[in-house]
Amino acid sequence: MATLTTPDQETPHSLSVGVDIGEVDKSAARWWAAILAPGKGWQAIVLKRKGGVYFAPWSYSLAHDPTLSIRWRDNGTEIKDPNTPPTSTAALGYLIEFCLLHNLHDEFDAAFAAALTFPTHNHYGTPIEIPWSIAGRANLTAKPRSRAEYIAFAHNLAYYMSLSCNYSVVMSSLCGSFWEPTVGCNLVSPWLHPVLEEIPKLPQFAGDSRRYHKLIAIMCAARRPTLSPLWAGASLSGLVGQIIDLVRTGTPPLDPNCYFWTGSAQNFLDLPWGTGPYFKTGSGSGTNIKIIERADVWRLLYLQPLEDDGLHYESLPFSPWHPVGATRAESCVLRV
**Are residues 128 and 4 both part of a single domain?**
no
Of the candidates 143, 40, 32, the one whose C-alpha atom is nearest the C-alpha of residue 97 is 32
Tell me what pLDDT residue 284 has: 58
Would the CA dihedral through 232, 236, 239, 240 be positive or negative? positive
Of the candidates 15, 22, 3, the one whose C-alpha atom is nearest the C-alpha of residue 132 is 15
Query: Can you tell me the distance from the alpha carbon of 241 to that of 216, in angstroms, rounded to the nearest whole number?
Result: 10
Residues contacting residue 4 through CB under 8 Å, at least 6 positions apart? 29, 33, 69, 70, 72
In a domain, 67, yes or no: yes
The mean pLDDT values, 10 residues at a time, for the chain of 336 residues are 38 63 91 87 80 83 77 86 81 90 87 94 91 55 75 86 93 95 92 94 90 95 94 95 95 89 89 78 70 89 77 82 91 86
Domain boundary among 232, 266, 300: 266
Q: Return the half-sphere exposure (C-beta side, CA atoms, 13 A cut-off) of residue 20.
A: 13
**Are residues 184 and 109 both part of a single domain?**
yes
**Are residues 305 and 261 both part of a single domain?**
no
Report CA Rg, the chain: 26
Dihedral Cα 288, 292, 294, 300, nearest 10 deg: -160
**Are residues 72 and 194 both part of a single domain?**
no
Q: Which residues pair with 18 in a beta bridge?
A: 69
In a domain, 275, yes or no: no
Dihedral Cα 207, 212, 213, 216, nearest 10 deg: -160
**Are residues 145 and 233 both part of a single domain?**
yes
Q: Specify the number of domains making up the chain.
A: 3
Inter-CA distances, 181 with 220, 269, 329, Å: 15, 10, 25
**Are residues 198 and 167 both part of a single domain?**
yes
Q: How many CB atoms lie within 10 A of CB 300?
A: 17
Query: Can you tell me the distance from the alpha carbon of 106 to that of 219, in angstroms, rounded to the nearest whole number?
Result: 20
**Are residues 107 and 96 both part of a single domain?**
no
Domain boundary among 101, 134, 156: 101
Tell me what pLDDT residue 5 has: 37
In a domain, 303, yes or no: yes
**Are residues 110 and 64 both part of a single domain?**
no
**Are residues 168 and 90 both part of a single domain?**
no
Residues contacting residue 227 through CB under 8 Å, at least 6 positions apart? 173, 174, 177, 220, 221, 262, 264
In a domain, 273, yes or no: no
Buried (b) or exposed (e) across 43-74, using 16+ Cβ within 10 A? eeeeeeeeeeeeebbbbbebeeeebbbbbbee
**Are residues 51 and 143 both part of a single domain?**
no
Tell me which residue range forms the domain holding 51.
1-76+83-101
What is the DSSP pairing of strand 68-74 with strand 287-293?
Answer: unpaired
Tell me whether the omega of the peptide bond preceding residue 181 falls within 30 degrees of 0, making it cis: no
In a domain, 272, yes or no: no
In a domain, 13, yes or no: yes
**Are residues 109 and 258 both part of a single domain?**
yes
In a domain, 271, yes or no: no
Tell me what pLDDT residue 257 has: 86
**Are residues 31 and 114 both part of a single domain?**
no
Sheet with 68-74: list strands edge to edge. Answer: 3-5, 68-74, 17-24
The pTM for the full model equals 0.84
In a domain, 274, yes or no: no
Residues contacting residue 307 through CB under 8 Å, at least 6 positions apart? none
